[in-house]
A = this chain, B = another copy of it.
Amino acid sequence: MFKKVVIFGVGLIGGSFALALRRAGQADHIVGVGRSLVSLERARELGLIDTVATDPAAAVEGADLILLAAPVAQTETILASIAPYLNPQAIVTDAGSTKGDVVAAARKALGARIGQFVPAHPIAGREQHGPEAALADLYEGKKVVITALPENAARDVETVAAAWRACGAIIHRLSPQEHDAVFASVSHLPHVLAFALVDDIAAKPHADTLFQYAASGFRDFTRIAASSPEMWRDITLANRDALLTEVDAYLVQLQAIREMIANSDGPALEQVYASARDARQQWAAAIEAAERKNG
């Protein structure tokens, strides 16, 4: 049970954490901090938080758990604003979708107190945003990746894991580097590819004709290209190195397939397509089996 939980950014991610933790009986008092007072007041009306705070120093006084759920680019500023006032037993964690940059920002802002920061990434979301979108069961059966630092005490890592488990999540552990490489591959690269395709088509003189014939396959393939440009710009820059590695590998792969097409090499094309189809089907079957188990 946490006596005082402080959440920076009470939108979908922070608000859902608040609801889930309270439902599990793990939070006595929850304080919301943020840049928009309107949004914080709304979060209080909705019962996500008990108190609204605008002064980070006062907010973290006596807090035992602090979650950063604001845009990742604010990490260093927020941590620098609370560093001098942190209780030595307080644990700080985050919900950012990149980890290398967050850890670097935390090291700068926290210095010798870096051990109090346990980085994490909940793999959950929905299309709606803001406090109204928060759900007590958003994390039910979802993965949370904890990317513990060498400086973290084992019991602090376990405390963060237990908080997320109380929200219904399943804990995974990776190093920050492993985390960023994995998500560059299965999330950030697909986003770049989908944005690239839609922009490529939109820039053509006969784009209207082209879009007119786009059907359900195009709809699914490009759904992620409807994501926030600002957020994905930040993720792209934050995970630049790992993403470049993935983009370069993909360019090599696509160039090879281009040559198969140019050479009308049917057997080679069929082999690539079949390997992809088989891997996709195995993946979908494993996901469905896991969902049945968790559901």
In whole angstroms, what is the CA distance A278 to B172 when docked?
Answer: 35
In whole angstroms, what is the CA distance A209 to B181 when docked?
Answer: 11
B202→A269 contact, CB < 8 A: no
Chain B residues whose C-beta falls within 8 Å of the C-beta of A227 in the assembled complex: 273, 277
Chain B residues whose C-beta falls within 8 Å of the C-beta of A223 in the assembled complex: 217, 220-221
Q: Give how many copies assemble into the complex.
A: 2
In whole angstroms, what is the CA distance A278 to B199 when docked?
Answer: 9
Q: Does A74 lie at the interface of the complex (its beta carbon under 8 Å from any beta carbon of B)? A: no
Chain B residues whose C-beta falls within 8 Å of the C-beta of A278 in the assembled complex: 202
Question: Shortest CB–CB separation between residue A229 and chain B, in angstroms?
Answer: 4
A276→B240 contact, CB < 8 A: no
B257→A222 contact, CB < 8 A: no
Question: Shortest CB–CB separation between residue A16 and chain B, in angstroms?
Answer: 16
Using A186-B211, A217-B187 as known contacts, say yes or no to A273 and B233 having CB atoms under 8 A apart: yes
A-B contact pairs, 18 of them (CB 8 A): A182-B209, A182-B210, A185-B201, A186-B201, A186-B210, A186-B214, A196-B254, A196-B276, A197-B250, A199-B276, A200-B253, A217-B223, A222-B280, A226-B281, A227-B277, A233-B270, A247-B257, A251-B255
